[in-house]
Amino acid sequence: MIKPFSNGTKQNKMSEVSEALQKEWARFVEQENGKGKINGAVHDLTSRCWDTCIRSTSTNALDGREKACLQNCVERFLDVTTHTIRRMQNSKP
């Protein structure tokens, strides 16, 4: 005979999950969140630098000015990101 599923049963199942599995799951979730943040930063960088530097998409190649602008934009973005991370690390109690 099949017993109906109850809230108590669900809570009991969760408490049976091993501590090691819970830690592994927490690490996985943290890694995935980190990947999401990195992807978001890359998307933001791409959008900002593209909008700032690219004047026309009429050709398949970037001109010298656009290349230099994109390089400078990426370098400044990385400089600001590095500076921000260092300040956050130094301000931790």
pLDDT in tens, 29-50: 988 988 888 888 888 888 999 9
Tell whether the torsion through CA atoms of 75, 76, 77 and 78 is positive or negative. Answer: positive
Over its C-alpha atoms, the chain yields an Rg (Å, rounded) of: 24
d(CA 44, CA 4): 49
Residue 88 pLDDT: 82
Mean pLDDT by 10 residues, the chain (93 residues): 55 67 89 87 89 87 92 91 85 70
Q: Which residues touch 54 (CB under 8 Å, ≥6 apart)? A: 62, 66, 70
Residue 8 pLDDT: 54
CA 79 to chain CA centroid, nearest Å: 18
Residue 68 pLDDT: 95
